[in-house]
């Protein structure tokens, strides 16, 4: 059976900006295909090029190179056609404090040239599906962050677009409102709406998106489902946390540490016992890669469950008593780290909101951060 044509196709799409300090290559010639009904996440750290990509695909910003077709309309030659088929919800939203919920949604429909009666019918139908019933006559300033975000989404949907673009849809929301909004976004898919959202929240990308385009420095560095991306990092991560106050006999003497710290940045990051822990782990099992983060040593091994006992025995033999030892499957942050040498969690907001369990340290030995054969 033939695969239906993608609802979004972009080829070598690029955007550069001329600034007083020079040229910024915000997006460097990306290729994208999106199928109808997918929830696609553009994932990347601040400045990766996500917003610029979304703004180009929504006709808000002209590309400096490349082409795209959106819902059958050419981005360059038929921007009006593109706009009639898409909804766009900007990062900060677009409601004013005094506007009334239902009135605002109807007005938005009218701006798309929809007749009065249909505008009202469309707007009224959206209210219950976005949990906004009962709020129709409230001014937006009286709404919670999550409610106001759902009004923004209603504004993006009222003309019944084929595709909706959501720029950082849950930015600034509390965890409960975020989870609630994810449910609403999932429902859009069942109505046949294609969703493209940008995010730098790993949990959001993991839980919500069918497919992720991981962006960094204006390029797409990986494209796949969250599970596919995680499977690229084969093996498990065993994390040994050591109690730095109980390191007698570990073999990591103060003098040997300070010698290494003078010549090696990774030693300067480690705390007493981490070097000896790495040595013990390497002796015990086949270690693929190592990251040292303060008093934690993360080692990637083929089978985490089989590595635990040999590593514990080797630590015991070296006089190291770990305060914790955990085994986990790689996270999206580990994927990002392996692709770029940097952790997505380094971004300020991610540090506050990211899911627990990713590796946050610099590599043991320079870039690339983690080497996976
Ligand atoms: N109008 C502009 N003029 C100059 N440079 C710009 C402009 N817009 C974006 N940039 C630069 O382009 C790069 C990509 O920015 P963009 O906003 O697309 O990133 P992002 O991934 O959306 O980041 P964030 O998560 O912070 O929103 C950044 O280096 C940014 O400073």
Ligand 1 centroid, distance to 53 Cα (angstroms): 10
Per-residue pLDDT band for 117 (boundaries 50, 70, 90) equals very high
Q: Determine the distance from the C-alpha atom of residue 159 to the mean position of all C-alpha atoms in its chain, rounded to a whole number.
A: 28
The mean per-residue pLDDT over the stretch 221-234 comes to 86
Would you say residue 299 has pLDDT above 70? Answer: yes
Asked if residue 81 is part of any domain, the answer here is yes
26 Cβ below 6 A of ligand 1: yes
Within 13 Å of residue 311, how many CA atoms lie on the same side as its CB? Answer: 31
Ligand 1 centroid, distance to 51 Cα (angstroms): 7
Q: What are the pLDDT digits (tens) for 14-32?
A: 999 999 999 999 999 999 9
**Pairs from 92-95 (Cβ < 8 Å, separation ≥ 24):** 93/148, 93/149, 93/151, 93/152, 94/152, 94/155, 95/140, 95/148, 95/151, 95/152, 95/155
Q: Are residues 164 and 281 in the same domain?
A: no
Within 13 Å of residue 335, how many CA atoms lie on the same side as its CB? Answer: 26
Ligand 1 centroid, distance to 199 Cα (angstroms): 14
Q: Residue 260 in contact with residue 338, Cβ under 8 Å?
A: no
Write down the pLDDT at residue 143: 93
Q: Which of 260-269, 271-280, 296-305 has the lowest mean pLDDT?
A: 260-269
Q: Are residues 238 and 222 in the same domain?
A: no
Q: Choose which residue among 14, 52, 217 to substitute to test ligand 1 binding: the one with the highest number of ligand atoms within 8 A of its C-beta.
A: 52
Ligand 1 centroid, distance to 64 Cα (angstroms): 15
Would you say residue 287 has pLDDT above 60? Answer: yes
CA dist., res. 287 & res. 281, Å (int): 7
199 Cβ below 6 A of ligand 1: no
Asked if residue 366 is part of any domain, the answer here is no
Number of domains, the chain: 2
Q: Are residues 207 and 259 in the same domain?
A: no
Q: Which of 299, 364, 324 is nearest to 242 (CA)?
A: 324
Q: Residue 43 in contact with residue 26, Cβ under 8 Å?
A: no
Q: Are residues 221 and 259 in the same domain?
A: no
Q: Are residues 53 and 30 in the same domain?
A: yes
Q: Which of 230, 260, 280 is the last residue of a domain?
A: 230
Q: Are residues 212 and 249 in the same domain?
A: no
Strands (E), 35-153: 39-43, 65-70, 73-74, 86-89
Ligand 1 centroid, distance to 52 Cα (angstroms): 6
In this structure, what are the phi and psi dihedrals at residue 324, rounded to the nearest 5 degrees? Answer: -160, 150
Asked if residue 132 is part of any domain, the answer here is yes
> For the chain, how many residues are written?
373
Strands 86-89 and 163-167, by their bridges, are parallel
Q: Which of 68-82, 200-214, 223-237 has the lowest mean pLDDT?
A: 223-237
Q: What are the pLDDT digits (tens) for 315-369?
A: 999 999 899 999 988 888 888 877 777 777 655 444 444 333 333 222 222 222 2
Map residue 50 onto helix, strand or coil: helix
44 Cβ below 6 A of ligand 1: yes
Domain of 101: which CATH number? 3.40.50.300
CA dist., res. 69 & res. 82, Å (int): 8
Q: Which domain holds residue 149?
A: 8-230
Q: Which of 230, 250, 274 is the last residue of a domain?
A: 230
Asked if residue 54 is part of any domain, the answer here is yes
Q: Are residues 282 and 308 in the same domain?
A: yes
Query: Using alpha carbons only, what angle is made at residue 30 by residues 26 and 35, rounded to the nearest 5 degrees?
Result: 130
Asked if residue 246 is part of any domain, the answer here is yes
Q: Which of 361, 333, 360 is nearest to 203 (CA)?
A: 333
Q: Are residues 257 and 205 in the same domain?
A: no
50 Cβ below 6 A of ligand 1: yes
Q: Are residues 224 and 253 in the same domain?
A: no
Map residue 328 onto helix, strand or coil: strand
Q: Are residues 210 and 239 in the same domain?
A: no
Asked if residue 36 is part of any domain, the answer here is yes
200 Cβ below 6 A of ligand 1: yes
Write down the pLDDT at residue 353: 41
Domain of 258: which CATH number? 3.30.70.980
Task: Give 221's contacts (C-beta < 8 A, 6+ positions apart).
Answer: 214, 215, 339, 340
Write down the pLDDT at residue 62: 95
The mean per-residue pLDDT over the stretch 259-264 comes to 32
């Amino acid at each position: 059976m033939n695969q239906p044509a993608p609802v979004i196709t972009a080829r070598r799409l690029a955007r550069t900006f001329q600034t007083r300090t020079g040229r910024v290559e915000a997006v460097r010639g990306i290729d994208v295909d999106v199928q109808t009904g997918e929830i696609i996440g553009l994932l990347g750290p601040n400045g990766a090029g996500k917003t610029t990509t979304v703004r180009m695909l929504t006709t808000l910003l002209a590309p400096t190179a490349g082409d795209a077709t959106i819902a059958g309309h050419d981005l360059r030659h038929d921007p009006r056609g593109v706009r009639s088929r898409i909804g766009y919800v900007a990062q900060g939203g677009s409601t004013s404090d005094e506007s009334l919920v239902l009135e605002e949604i109807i007005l938005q429909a009218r701006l798309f040239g929809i007749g009065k009666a249909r505008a009202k019918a469309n707007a009224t139908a959206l209210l219950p599906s976005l949990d906004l019933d009962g709020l129709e006559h409230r001014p937006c300033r009286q709404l919670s962050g999550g409610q106001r975000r759902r009004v923004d989404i209603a504004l993006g949907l009222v003309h019944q677009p084929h595709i909706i673009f959501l720029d950082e849809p849950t930015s600034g929301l509390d965890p409960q409102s975020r989870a609630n909004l994810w449910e609403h976004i999932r429902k859009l898919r069942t109505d046949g709406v294609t969703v493209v959202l940008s995010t730098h929240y790993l949990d959001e990308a993991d839980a919500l998106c069918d497919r992720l385009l991981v962006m960094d420095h204006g390029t797409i560095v990986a494209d796949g489902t969250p599970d596919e991306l995680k499977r690229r990092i084969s093996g498990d991560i065993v994390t040994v946390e050591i109690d730095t106050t109980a390191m007698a006999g570990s073999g990591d003497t103060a003098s040997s540490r300070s010698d290494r710290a003078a010549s090696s940045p990774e030693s300067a990051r480690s705390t007493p016992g981490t070097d000896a822990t790495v040595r013990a782990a390497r002796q015990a099992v086949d270690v693929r890669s190592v990251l040292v983060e303060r008093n934690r040593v993360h080692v990637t091994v083929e089978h985490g469950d089989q590595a635990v006992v040999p590593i514990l025995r080797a630590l015991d033999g070296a006089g190291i008593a770990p305060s914790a030892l955990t085994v986990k499957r790689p996270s999206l942050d580990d994927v990002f780290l392996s692709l770029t040498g940097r952790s997505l969690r380094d971004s300020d907001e991610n540090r506050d909101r990211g899911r627990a369990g990713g590796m946050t340290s610099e590599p043991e030995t320079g870039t690339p951060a983690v080497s996976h054969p």
